Amino acid sequence: MFWRTHLSLSVVVLLIAAVGLVGMLLYLRYAAGLAPSIAVVERVQRADAEATSYIVTYVIPFLALPSDTWEHGVALIILYVVLCILYITANMIHINPVLNLLGFHLYQVTLSDGSENALIARHRVRRGEQVRVCLIGDDILLEKGSSLLS
C-alpha cells in the first residue's frame, strides 16, 4: 500500500484534498447568498456523465498497479498531468467529481436570451423550465437552492 510506505506524502495529499473540499463548501455557501435571477431553459444537455466515464477509462488501469516504486509514482504523476491538460483543453474544467458525489449535475444549457451556459443543479433540468440561478463564473450558473449549506 502506498500510504504505508509514503505516510508523509499521503498525509499531505489528504490535507490538500480536505482544504479543497472545505474551500468548495465555503464557496457554495457564499454562492447561496448571491441574488438570483430567473432563467428559462430553451435547450439542455447533460454534461457530467460523459466526463465521468472518460476519466474512469484512464484511472481504472492504474488502480491495479502496485505503487511501491518510483517508476509507478512517475507514471501516476504523468497520468494526472495528462488528465489536467485534457480537462482544460476539452473544456471540462468545471466538471468536479466531488460535486457529482454530493448530488450535483452539470448541464450545458441555452437560455431564452440565447446565451449558452454551464448550469450546476441538484435536480433534473428540463427544456422550457424556469430556474432560479446565480452567476458564479464566466458562463457558469448555479441553481439557487442547490447549495448544501443554504
pTM for the whole thing? 0.70
Q: Where are the domains of the chain?
A: 2-143
Question: Could you tell me the three cell numbers for 132?
Answer: 432560479
Q: pLDDT per residue over 27-38, tens digit each?
A: 888 887 888 899
Under 8 Å between Cβ of 41 and 131: yes
Q: pLDDT per residue over 54-103, tens digit each?
A: 666 666 666 666 666 777 778 778 877 887 787 777 766 666 777 888 88
Helix (H, G, I), strand (E, B), or coil: what is residue 40? strand
Q: How far apart are CA 135 and CA 15, in angstroms?
A: 29
